[in-house]
Structure 1
Amino acid sequence: MKLTQFALATILLPLAPITAAQVTMEIPKGIQLLVINGQDSGYSVFGFDHQPEIQLPDGTNQIAFRISKAVRESGSKKTKFKSVPILMRFSGKDTHLKLEVPNIRTLDEGHQFNTSPSISVKESGKQFPFVYDTMAIGFDLAPDFTREVEKYNQSQAIASIATLNTLPTPIAQAPESITKDVANSTTDTSTQITESNKTEMMLKHWFSQADEETKKQFLSWAVTNIK
């Protein structure tokens, strides 16, 4: 994900038309949305960007996500766990759904989940039909999940959608603190906020939300990849 794309999406998402949303899905904490109906969800490279719910159009929808949370590695030591990306497809109309995933507390439990992931979707407490699959990303440290979903859909696998490009744009709630910061900045007529300013603002926000180990890993990656 390019940070400039995320900065722009953060501004545009609240302006999306509400009339297109008919299916609401609750998203549990620890879930990082990656791609919604073929579009980048505006996820953070640090993984601290939880969206409590998303609104989707009636009909067939496809969501790519992963579990991203701090877990216990050994004793009291904690580390960041990111699960294998999961791609889910379902159909609904005028309904409220709830995504449920196991409460992973340790790194071992995370490894077990990656080996045999198990998720569910509920509608009024009852099981709601859906299909899901894992996505093979390989060793790419910064994969383009939108492109990976596109490639997956060309494979005609179980969770693929052939008509994905015709789906309306989903509505997602941008993190409130970021939306306010950008709104406050853009209302100052004496200052022209450039795209780089917005990117810097987003980067600083997500960096402040990360744990110390994640910050160190990011700084090491940044120094290695800076041009």
Structure 2
Amino acid sequence: MSIKNRFIVFGALFCSLVALPATAATFEVPRSFEIMYVDLESSSQFGDDFKVDVGEGIHQIVVRFNKLLRSGGDTESYQSEPIVLDLKFEKNTYLRLKAPYISTKKQAESNVNKPQFSIIDDMSGNEVSYHQQMLPAKSGLQNTRDYVAEIEHLMAKNPSNFNTHSTASDSPVPAPVIMDDDVALPMMKFWYNRSDEATRKEMRIWIADNMYKPSVANIQLEMSKFWFNKANKEEKKAFQVWIVQ
């Protein structure tokens, strides 16, 4: 089954298992950017192209620079590669992507290659910490690209350990990738890294005894369980080794 089809199956199954967390925070971008995905789901399920509401915790949000400039009677489009952001949202926070105003072709072309921005806590006015990765450029028609699959492979090759609940000494190390087309292991790692310590503990107990009824209920735990059940024997063993390192 292709990666895309796996996610279609996963989407239908997950929606039947658990409801989305209650809204706790908001993320907004200026009109020179767009929000593409939130935790690998289309942003339209959370808000719109410029503002999304999410639950408290760590989320992966994919954005890109996307600017239209008029020159005479023509309109030119400038678009960067997708940028994968890992952000932590506290309860009732409002994070805003802040970028310079773009008015010239030179500025737009520069941002296509290297978008300039910072992320601000709207309440305090302070910059917040985050982790970012950018998809590599590809030639050809962009509307035929499977961005979700590309993001999965990027995470598998360059996993993010962004987790402000943990110190560098107790954060899990990157999981070994068995092969590029094996999705379950990097996805287990992805959701485990986005879990708090209580959720990680419940996941470890459940792995040891899959009849155990976890005392927490959140998207991170359900996704970790989903991908563990999808994994083969070697992937499960690799994941169990990784979480105790």
Same fold (TM > 0.5): yes
Q: Does 1:30 align with 2:32?
A: yes
Match among 55, 58, 65 for residue 56 of structure 2 = 58
Q: Could you say which residue in structure 1 is the equivalent of 2:198? A: none
| Counterpart check, 1:90 vs 2:77 | no
* Amino acid in structure 2 at the alignment position of 1:82: Q
Displacement after TM superposition at 1:23 (Å)? 2.1
CA change 1:69–1:102 in 2 (3 A) is: same
Structure 2 counterparts to residues 178-189 of structure 1, below 5 A: none
Residues 69 and 113 of structure 1: is their aligned pair in 2 closer, same or farther, counting only changes over 3 Å? closer
Residues 1:140 and 1:23: Cα distance change in structure 2 (over 3 Å): farther
Higher relative contact order (CA 8 A, sep 6+): 1
Residue of structure 2 in register with 1:39 after alignment: 41
Give the letter for the 2:28 counterpart: E
1:181-227: CA deviation from partner (whole Å, max 9, x where unpaired)? xxxxxxxxxxxxxxxxxxxxxxxxxxxxxxxxxxxxxxxxxxxxxxx
| Match status 1:139 vs 2:136 | no
- Structure 1 outlier segments of 4+, above 6 Å: none
CA contact (8 A) 1:84 1:114 kept: yes
CA RMSD of aligned residues (A): 3.4
Q: How high is the TM-score relative to the length of structure 2?
A: 0.52
Give the Å deviation of 1:139: 1.2
Letter in 2 for 1:78: T
Offset of residue 118 of structure 1: 1.9
Q: Distance in 1 between matches of 2:133 and 2:108?
A: 17
> Per the alignment, in what secondary structure is the counterpart of residue 147 of structure 1?
helix
C-alpha distance in structure 2 between counterparts of 1:106 and 1:155, whole Å: 36
> C-alpha displacement at 1:128, in angstroms?
1.0
Q: 2:169: which partner in 1?
A: none
Matching of residues 157-176 of structure 1 within 5 Å: 157=159, 163-165=189-191, 168=219
- Aligned equivalents of 2:23 and 2:161: distance in 1? 22
1:28-58 deviation line (CA, Å, top 9, x unaligned):
2232222211223359xxxxx9634211122
1:148-167 alpha-carbon deviations (Å, 9 max, x no partner): 11111101255889544577
The alignment status of 1:111 with 2:113, answered yes or no, reads no
Deviation, 1:61, is 0.9
Q: 1: CA distance between counterparts of 2:162 and 2:152?
A: 9
Give 1 or 2: higher strand fraction.
1
Quote how far apart the aligned CAs of 1:62 are: 0.9
| From 147, 153, 167, the counterpart of 2:155 | 153
Contact 2:33 2:50 in 1 (8 A): no
1:137 deviates by 3.7
Q: Is the 8 A contact 2:65 2:115 kept in 1?
A: no
Contact 2:67 2:108 in 1 (8 A): no
* 2:25–2:55 CA contact under 8 A, matched in 1: yes
CA–CA distance in structure 2, aligned partners of residues 150 and 140 of structure 1: 20
Q: Which amino acid aligns with 2:79?
A: K
Q: Which structure has the greater CA radius of gyration?
A: 2
Counterpart CA distance in 1 for 2:113 and 2:48 is: 24
Which residue of 2 is the match for residue 20 of structure 1? 22
